[in-house]
C-alpha cells in the first residue's frame, strides 16, 4: 500500500501509540524493512506525521495537513539532466515522423544502458563463463564472486539513475512510463497479466525471504529471529544471486511451465509533440558532451556495493577501478562518436519497438494453434 493523507487521517489519530516499528508498519499496511530500506521507509512515513520515539515505542504528535516535500536522492540526481537529455534525443529520433496520437515504446534495460553510453560491451559479458573474462579476472587478481557482486550492484545503480530521469520527464508531462514484465520462451513473448504480475512480485519476495533461515518455533510455525535479507541488494551483497535466480526460475517453471523466463522492461508512452517540447527544454549538445565525460569518470563513485566490498577488505581500490574500467568505462575519445550515433537515431532503434511487440502476436497465435 502507498501512503496517502486521506487513508492516514481515516485510520490514525494524534496521540496514537505503537509498541514498535513492526506494529507501526502493520497499522499502515506496510511491509517492515531493514537497513537503508527501513530508514527510507521511516522518512516516507514522517512526511505525513510527526513521531516521537520512546525506546522502541512510537507516538504520533501531529498529522500534517499537507505532506512534506519528498527528499530527492542526491546521488541519482547527479546525472539526471545528462541521462534525461540522452533519453529525449533518442526518443525524438524515434517519434519525430510518427503521427500517431499515442506511441508506445518497449525498452530492455540492458540495451538502454549500452546505447546511452552508460556501460560498455563487457558489462553483460561479466557473468559469462568465457576464457577472456577468466583471463582478465586472473590478471587483476579478482575472484568471480567479487566480479558478480560488482556487476549486480552497478546494474542496480544504473537502473536507479534511469528511473530518476524518466520520473523527471513524467513530472513534466512529457511521457508516461511504467515497468512491466515480459514472459518469454523460444523467441515468443507477451506481457504478464495483472494477476500474473502480482504473482511474480510475490514470488520475488518469497524467494528473497527464503534465504532467512528460521531460528525459532512458535505455535507450530517457524519464526525468524533476525532477518538479513530484505531486498535483492541484500542477496547481491551476500553473494547469493545465483541461488536466488535458480530458486526463482523453479517457481516460474512451476507456474508457467518449463523454458519460460521473465524479463523486466520499460514501457514508455508519449507523443511526438511532447518529445519535441522536451527536446527544446533539455540541455545543449555541448553540455551533454561535457556531462558524458563526467559520467564516464564518476559513475560508480557513489555505489555502495563496491564501497561495501572495499570496506570489508575484499577488494582493493585498484581492483575496484579495474572493474569500473572493464564494465562501464568508455574511452572519452569515443564519446563524440557515441553521441553522434544517438543524435542520428542509431543505437536504440534495435532495442525499442514502436506500438507493440510483434512477437507477442506470434506467441499468441502459437498458443491458440
**Residue range 212-234, pLDDT digits in tens:** 876 555 555 555 456 778 888 78
Q: What secondary structure letter does DSSP report for 98? A: -
Phi-psi region of 77 (alpha: psi -120 to 50; beta: other; left: phi over 0): alpha
Chain-centre distance for alpha carbon 272: 26
User: What percent of the chain is modeled with pLDDT above 90?
Assistant: 14
Q: What secondary structure letter does DSSP report for 189? A: E
Distance CA 327, CA 157 (A): 13
Average pLDDT over residues 115-128: 71
Q: How many residues does the chain have?
A: 369
Q: What is the mean pLDDT of the chain?
A: 75
Average pLDDT over residues 266-271: 87
165 near 80, Cβ under 8 Å? yes
Residue 349 has pLDDT above 60, yes or no: no
User: What percent of the chain is modeled with pLDDT above 70?
Assistant: 71
Tell me what pLDDT residue 112 has.
Answer: 79
Average pLDDT over residues 320-343: 65
Chain-centre distance for alpha carbon 171: 18
Tell me what pLDDT residue 363 has.
Answer: 47
Distance CA 335, CA 228 (A): 41
Which residues have CB under 8 Å from 44's CB, separation 6+? 3, 70
Tell me what pLDDT residue 354 has.
Answer: 34
Query: Positive or negative CA dihedral for 240, 245, 248, 253?
Result: negative
Q: Which of 83-97, 117-131, 268-282, 310-324 has the highest mean pLDDT?
A: 268-282
Query: H or E segment at 60?
Result: strand 57-63
Distance CA 359, CA 40 (A): 40
Tell me what pLDDT residue 61 has.
Answer: 93
88 near 278, Cβ under 8 Å? yes
Summarised one tens digit per residue, pLDDT across range 133-150 is 888 888 888 888 788 778
3-state helix, strand, coil in the chain (%, to 5): 55, 15, 30
Region of poorest pLDDT, from 166-175, 283-292, 348-357:
348-357
Tell me what pLDDT residue 262 has.
Answer: 92
Region of poorest pLDDT, from 74-78, 170-174, 316-320:
74-78
Distances (CA, A) of 245 to 29, 52, 149, 249, 270: 28, 41, 14, 6, 33
User: Angle formed by the axes of helices 80-95 and 272-281, to 10°?
Assistant: 140
Average pLDDT over residues 297-310: 54
Query: H or E segment at 40?
Result: helix 35-45
Residue 302 has pLDDT above 60, yes or no: no
Tell me what pLDDT residue 190 has.
Answer: 87
Query: What DSSP assignment string belongs to 286-306?
Result: HHHHHHHHHHHHHTTTT-HHH
Residue 318 burial by Cβ neighbours in a 10 Å radius (0-12, 13-18, 19+): exposed
Residue 361 has pLDDT above 50, yes or no: no
Q: Residue 103: helix, strand or coil by DSSP?
A: strand
List strand residue ranges (DSSP E) for 100-219, in order: 103-108, 176-185, 188-191, 216-218
Q: Residue holding cell 541484500?
A: 234
Average pLDDT over residues 110-119: 75
Tell me what pLDDT residue 225 has.
Answer: 54
Average pLDDT over residues 12-38: 84
Tell me what pLDDT residue 341 has.
Answer: 57
User: Angle formed by the axes of helices 241-256 and 194-209, to 10°?
Assistant: 140
- 87-106 as b/e, with b when 16 or more CB fall inside 10 Å? bbbbbbbbbeeeeeeebebb
Cell numbers linked to 300: 560508480
Summarised one tens digit per residue, pLDDT across range 153-188 is 778 778 888 888 899 889 888 888 888 888 988 877
The count of other CB atoms within 10 Å of the CB of residue 41 is: 20
Tell me what pLDDT residue 351 has.
Answer: 38
Chain-centre distance for alpha carbon 61: 35
Helix residue ranges, H only, 182-240? 194-209, 232-237
Amino acid at each position: 500500500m502507498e501512503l496517502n493523507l486521506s487513508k492516514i487521517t481515516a485510520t490514525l489519530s494524534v496521540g496514537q501509540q505503537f509498541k514498535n516499528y513492526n506494529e507501526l508498519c502493520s497499522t499502515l499496511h506496510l511491509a517492515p524493512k531493514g537497513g537503508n530500506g527501513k530508514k527510507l521507509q521511516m522518512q516516507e512515513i514522517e512526511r505525513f506525521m510527526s513521531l516521537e520515539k520512546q525506546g522502541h515505542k512510537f507516538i504520533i504528535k501531529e498529522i500534517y495537513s499537507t505532506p512534506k516535500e519528498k527528499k530527492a536522492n542526491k546521488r541519482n540526481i547527479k546525472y539526471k539532466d545528462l541521462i534525461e537529455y540522452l533519453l529525449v534525443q533518442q526518443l525524438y529520433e524515434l517519434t519525430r515522423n510518427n503521427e500517431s496520437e499515442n506511441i508506445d515504446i518497449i525498452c530492455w534495460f540492458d540495451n538502454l544502458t549500452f546505447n546511452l553510453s552508460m556501460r560498455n560491451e563487457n558489462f553483460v559479458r561479466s557473468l559469462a563463463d568465457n576464457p577472456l573474462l577468466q583471463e582478465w579476472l586472473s590478471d587483476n587478481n579478482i575472484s568471480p564472486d567479487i566480479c558478480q557482486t560488482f556487476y549486480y550492484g552497478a546494474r542496480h545503480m544504473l537502473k536507479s539513475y534511469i528511473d530518476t530521469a524518466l520520473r523527471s520527464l513524467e513530472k513534466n508531462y512529457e511521457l508516461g512510463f511504467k515497468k512491466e514484465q515480459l514472459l518469454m520462451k523460444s523467441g515468443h513473448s507477451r506481457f504478464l497479466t495483472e494477476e500474473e504480475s502480482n504473482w511474480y512480485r510475490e514470488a520475488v519476495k518469497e524467494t528473497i525471504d527464503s534465504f532467512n533461515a528460521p531460528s525459532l518455533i512458535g505455535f507450530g510455525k517457524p519464526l525468524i529471529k533476525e532477518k538479513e535479507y530484505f531486498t535483492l541488494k541484500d542477496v547481491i551483497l551476500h553473494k547469493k544471486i545465483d541461488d536466488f535466480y535458480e530458486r526463482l526460475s523453479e517457481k516460474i517453471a512451476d507456474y508457467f511451465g518449463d523454458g519460460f523466463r521473465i524479463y523486466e522492461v520499460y514501457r514508455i508512452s508519449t507523443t511526438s509533440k511532447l518529445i519535441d517540447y522536451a527536446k527544446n527544454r533539455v540541455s545543449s549538445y555541448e553540455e551533454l558532451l561535457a556531462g558524458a565525460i563526467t559520467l564516464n569518470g564518476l559513475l560508480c563513485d557513489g555505489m555502495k556495493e563496491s564501497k561495501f566490498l572495499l570496506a570489508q577488505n575484499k577488494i582493493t581500490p585498484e581492483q575496484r577501478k579495474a572493474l569500473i574500467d572493464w564494465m562501464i568505462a568508455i574511452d572519452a575519445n569515443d564519446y563524440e562518436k557515441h553521441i553522434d550515433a544517438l543524435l542520428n537515431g542509431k543505437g536504440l532503434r534495435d532495442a525499442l519497438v514502436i506500438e507493440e511487440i510483434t512477437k507477442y502476436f506470434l506467441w499468441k497465435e502459437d498458443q491458440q494453434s
